[in-house]
Structure 1
Amino acid sequence: MSFEIVEATISEIGAALDTGEITSRQLVLMYLERIADHDKSGLTVNSVLEINPDALFIAESLDTERQLQGPRGPLHGIPVLLKDNINTGDNMHTSAGSLALADSFAGEDAFIISRLREAGAIIMGKANMTEFANFMTNGMPSGYSSRGGQVLNPYNISTPTGGSSAGSAVAVACNFCTVSVGTETSGSILNPGNLGSIIGIKPTVGLISRSGILPLSSTQDTAGPMARTVRDAVLLLNALLGQDEKDAAMGTNRGKVHEDYTVFLDANGLQGARIGIPRDYYFEELTEEQLALFNASVDRMRELGATIIDPAEITTAREISYSSVVLNEFKTSLNAYLARLGPGAPMRTLKDIIDFNHAHPVQTLKFGQATLLDAEYTTSGTFTEPQYLRDRMTDLRLCKEQGIDATMREHQLDALLFPADFGARITSRAGYPSIVVPSGYTSAGAPFGVTFSARAYEEPVLIRLAYAYEQNYKVRKAPSLKSFI
């Protein structure tokens, strides 16, 4: 077969499917072959946790539908991997990487998975992830789970994968799927997207449904697209859209959601854009090499017509510290999720999971479960703790009103620009959107990206800027999958 699957985009695959050059069944088989050769042997990057046993049947059905009725849309017959905390009402598990949930089946699809199926996407499998979205303990490596083991970075074995959507990012980077879905509470799309040299869109909390996703935080969680190109990420975003009355956060999006975000893909989108760079605090962990990559990216944006306000400081950046919000929200959110799985679910509460881990310490407690214990025994689950209430109000004040909002208003900005994912802490607490885009590689081959961020529901602006940068400076390259540096 002459079709080249490596770095193939949704549009390229769709054209090949339309002409009969390939079928969706053949496409799934090509991805499965790459997974067999490089994910489960060879480099063993370990990004794929589970394959959908029905994937080929679904592909064949969609091939037949294409022949008889034509495609439903761009995602018809396109293989997608899901982070393992997203429910599928099929023959796959949803475990969040935990052995305690290794036998857990969801009774129905998450809302966004129903939307993907309606769009004709093939749910090919589940991706490995940092266990419980990196909320199990302290010191656990990103990309590690007791059920799935350690995900490795295909660009450099000494470079972390980032967490917690590690498998989703690595699978896309390695061309084990066309696109994937990750989730983020605080950097879990942006961080692995940056370290995997891919596009990651962390949407505004409320743009897409969270129903049917194993939760971490009731105020910060969101799913989002992960892809090799901005266009593919936007096509996936389009498919995830839909108003879910069960998700209270979606009540904030009325009149702010666009039916088709591809209309904002503009190769000249940086012309006249005002982009601010908050240098204080956010650049302290950069190496000299990373700083040089970032500054080179800024120079290219200037060349493409952007007005760069440098610095455009966020005056509250150093006031934003540890917050008890996620710790307090985890137990209640998780227990509510587990209760909805029904009486036959293997685990009904967070305490059940803790007890399971205590009973199987060799398999489950390689790094301990200190955070799970804190959530179970130091929080009431009622959100009445004074510290929680104060922290929630403080986060909103420092991150939104006096933080991002104030800076963007003062400098009349279209977006903020952060190195890598270093702005995730403030943007996630604000519930604001971001897009990470590859911008280069270090001498050791480690990927480095830049992140565009803005205010609630300003995804159109971010898409325009990210697409213009990508199209004029195509930096991404696929990992060799032959040897580590």
Structure 2
Amino acid sequence: MKTICATVLAMAAVTSAHAETTAAERTAAYLKKIAAEDRAEAPGKPPLNSVIAVSPVALDQARARDAERKAGKAVSPVHGWAVLLKDNIDSTELPTTAGSLALKDNMTGRDAPLVANLRKAGVVILGKANLSEWANFRSTSSLSGWSAVGGLTRNARDRLRNACGSSAGSGAAVAAGFADAAVGTETNGSIICPAAVEGLVGFKPTVGLVSRTHVVPISSSQDTAGPMTRTVADAAALLDAMAGSDPADPATAEADAKKTDFAATLDKASLKGARIGVARYAAGFHPETDAVFEKALTTLKAQGAILIDVKDFPRRREISPLENRVLCVEFKAGVAAYLASTDPAKVKPRNLADLIAFNKAHAKEEMPLFAQELFEICDRAKGLDDPDYLKAKADAHRIAGPEGIDALLKQNDVAVLVAPTMAPAYLIDPVLRGGYVGGGIGGPPAVAGYPHLTVPMGEIKGLPVGLSIVGTAWDDARVLSLGYAFEQARK
């Protein structure tokens, strides 16, 4: 009975927000709102710039979904949802630009498998969301949320503040009420950061749960797509629709066996008796955020959670240098493979060296704010068979995962780790780029490929901050359920 009740409640939470209107009505309203508000500006209110393009067939899709529902053929809880895709994910009706003018004509005519899965579930592809160009992997001094194609995405809660990256547009658009949900991608922080600063739920699933085929890559070790939504129930439902094995992506070999009905397994009583590790090593970077975190811990405890302080993560500072080596090698190889799959008549660059040359030739448009030193460093990287790369990859994963997160979970006999995600959004400063406050728990699960959820835990002077929940590989359902229980308790 408990399981049935939990399932019914979770499914009701997923569908209630969308039940009062038709897909066509919602899609039309979103398109109108995007057209009126996304690029609009007023004194003291610069444009949001969260959407790069809207689908010319979005309304046709929505009307078809309504006809299916009327005929009793709604196939999933997300049937008829209007969803934005980060513009590094291929879809048939729109170009995939990764924010770069080099790809502005990249009409691939194909759906990424994750998009094909969404369509099978009845999702309406509303359009493409802006992003940090090349998913924030062109320069170490990049301005988060900026792309040459889409301009600078700003925070929907305060347009003078940063939307974080690289899924900046996905987060800002959902926060602005431009879509039912959005899909972001993450290599390290690119779903979690924008979701946290916009007051959203963001979920980075276990790497391999969602296909990466026909997604502009950074890292075959760390890349994954994930949902960015208003509630945990919505995130679970969208993940249900996206997840699945893909023969073209070896990392997803276990996805069909590992995935479950994530929305149905949400349980608002899941915190009762749950042993939770409080990652003290990932806090202490911002006093006001720490104060909100302590209130969140009180909520967890009130719901029956058993809290265990975890004071240190041994060797975690060794991870980043190893990760950087891995990302460079994998990006150089991965972007060349993606470019090779595009139409050379529409996309002239065929490899990273060509992209570097393109940016130099179009420096006024492509590099008005920051350079491309990461591209240049990575272009000197060796291949995927390089022994130094293979060792760095193995070491990074081991220190972050089995000897890191897994060891902490086992030593402290806890199911998950929690920490504040990050401080509130900082002011945009294209000159000094100051204001970012570090900290948080996100690096190790990104490198290990483990699930990471951020859920709103409160606000500081009107600016949202999130609670991070991290688990071990393939423990996505438990992470989501614990986050759901926290969210319901906060309400």
Give the aligned residue type for 2:16: E
Equivalent of 1:95, from 80, 97, 118?
A: 97
Find the aligned partners of 2:13 and 2:164 in 1 and give their Cα distance: 24
Find the aligned partners of 1:442 and 1:325 in 2 and give their Cα distance: 36
Find the aligned partners of 1:200 and 1:136 in 2 and give their Cα distance: 24
Q: Which residue of 2 aligns with 1:471?
A: 488
Could you tell me how far 1:222 is from its partner in structure 2? 0.4
Give the aligned residue type for 2:60: F
The question of whether the paired residues in 2 share the 8 Å contact of 1:338 and 1:345 is answered with no
CA pair 440-14 structure 1, distance change in 2 beyond 3 A? closer
Could you tell me how far 1:74 is from its partner in structure 2? 1.6
The question of whether the paired residues in 1 share the 8 Å contact of 2:165 and 2:191 is answered with yes
Find the aligned partners of 1:70 and 1:402 in 2 and give their Cα distance: 48
Q: Which residue of 1 aligns with 2:465?
A: 448
Find the aligned partners of 1:356 and 1:317 in 2 and give their Cα distance: 37
Q: Which residue of 2 aligns with 1:426?
A: 444
Find the aligned partners of 2:35 and 2:14 in 1 and give their Cα distance: 22
Cα deviation digits, residues 428-482 of structure 1 (max 9, x gap): 1101001100011112x221101100100001110111000001103xxxxxxxx
Equivalent of 1:191, from 190, 193, 196?
A: 193
Equivalent of 1:438, from 456, 465, 480?
A: 456
Q: Which residue of 1 aligns with 2:71?
A: 68
User: Aligned with 2:71: secondary structure?
Assistant: helix
User: Aligned with 2:263: secondary structure?
Assistant: helix
User: Aligned with 2:457: secondary structure?
Assistant: strand
Could you tell me how far 1:307 is from its partner in structure 2? 0.5
In terms of mean alpha carbon deviation, does 39-48 or 109-118 score higher? 39-48
Q: Which residue of 2 aligns with 1:251?
A: 253
Q: Which residue of 2 aligns with 1:383?
A: 384
CA pair 318-374 structure 1, distance change in 2 beyond 3 A? closer
Q: Which residue of 2 aligns with 1:38?
A: 37
The question of whether the paired residues in 2 share the 8 Å contact of 1:439 and 1:450 is answered with yes
Give the aligned residue type for 1:316: R
The question of whether the paired residues in 1 share the 8 Å contact of 2:244 and 2:256 is answered with no
CA pair 9-178 structure 1, distance change in 2 beyond 3 A? farther
Could you tell me how far 1:106 is from its partner in structure 2? 1.5
Find the aligned partners of 1:167 and 1:80 in 2 and give their Cα distance: 12
Q: Which residue of 1 aligns with 2:28?
A: 29
Equivalent of 1:136, from 138, 142, 153?
A: 138
Cα deviation digits, residues 80-104 of structure 1 (max 9, x gap): 00000000122x1101111111111
User: Aligned with 1:36: secondary structure?
Assistant: helix
Q: Which residue of 1 aligns with 2:3?
A: none
The question of whether the paired residues in 1 share the 8 Å contact of 2:154 and 2:163 is answered with yes
Find the aligned partners of 1:9 and 1:156 in 2 and give their Cα distance: 28
Give the aligned residue type for 1:222: T
The question of whether the paired residues in 2 share the 8 Å contact of 1:162 and 1:195 is answered with yes
Could you tell me how far 1:342 is from its partner in structure 2? 3.7
The question of whether the paired residues in 2 share the 8 Å contact of 1:107 and 1:341 is answered with no
The question of whether the paired residues in 1 share the 8 Å contact of 2:276 and 2:415 is answered with yes
- Give unmatched runs, 5+ long, in structure 2: 1-11, 423-439
Find the aligned partners of 1:440 and 1:85 in 2 and give their Cα distance: 31
TM-score w.r.t. the length of structure 2 is 0.89
The aligned runs of 1:302-317 (5 Å cut-off) are 302-317=301-316
The question of whether the paired residues in 2 share the 8 Å contact of 1:9 and 1:178 is answered with no
Find the aligned partners of 1:253 and 1:24 in 2 and give their Cα distance: 30
CA pair 10-401 structure 1, distance change in 2 beyond 3 A? closer
Find the aligned partners of 2:190 and 2:125 in 1 and give their Cα distance: 21
Find the aligned partners of 1:424 and 1:301 in 2 and give their Cα distance: 20
Find the aligned partners of 2:67 and 2:254 in 1 and give their Cα distance: 40
Q: Which residue of 1 aligns with 2:109?
A: 107
Find the aligned partners of 2:37 and 2:343 in 1 and give their Cα distance: 37
User: Aligned with 1:351: secondary structure?
Assistant: helix
Find the aligned partners of 2:40 and 2:56 in 1 and give their Cα distance: 20
Find the aligned partners of 2:378 and 2:317 in 1 and give their Cα distance: 26
The aligned runs of 1:317-396 (5 Å cut-off) are 317-323=316-322, 324-346=325-347, 347-366=349-368, 367-376=370-379, 378-380=380-382, 382-396=383-397
CA pair 318-353 structure 1, distance change in 2 beyond 3 A? closer
Q: Which residue of 2 aligns with 1:11?
A: 15
User: Aligned with 1:290: secondary structure?
Assistant: helix
Cα deviation digits, residues 360-383 of structure 1 (max 9, x gap): 11100121111111111x112x22
Equivalent of 2:152, from 150, 162, 169?
A: 150
User: Aligned with 1:262: secondary structure?
Assistant: coil
- Give unmatched runs, 5+ long, in structure 1: 1-7, 17-21, 475-485
Q: Which residue of 1 aligns with 2:5?
A: none
Could you tell me how far 1:165 is from its partner in structure 2? 0.4
User: Aligned with 1:124: secondary structure?
Assistant: strand
Could you tell me how far 1:197 is from its partner in structure 2? 0.7
Q: Work out the number of aligned pairs and report it.
A: 455
Cα deviation digits, residues 289-320 of structure 1 (max 9, x gap): 11111111111111111101013532232333
Find the aligned partners of 2:210 and 2:51 in 1 and give their Cα distance: 24
Find the aligned partners of 2:151 and 2:256 in 1 and give their Cα distance: 41
Find the aligned partners of 2:13 and 2:230 in 1 and give their Cα distance: 8
Give the aligned residue type for 1:174: A
Q: Which residue of 2 aligns with 1:232?
A: 234
Could you tell me how far 1:108 is from its partner in structure 2? 1.0
Sequence identity (%): 39
In terms of mean alpha carbon deviation, does 351-360 or 295-304 score higher? 351-360
User: Aligned with 1:255: secondary structure?
Assistant: helix
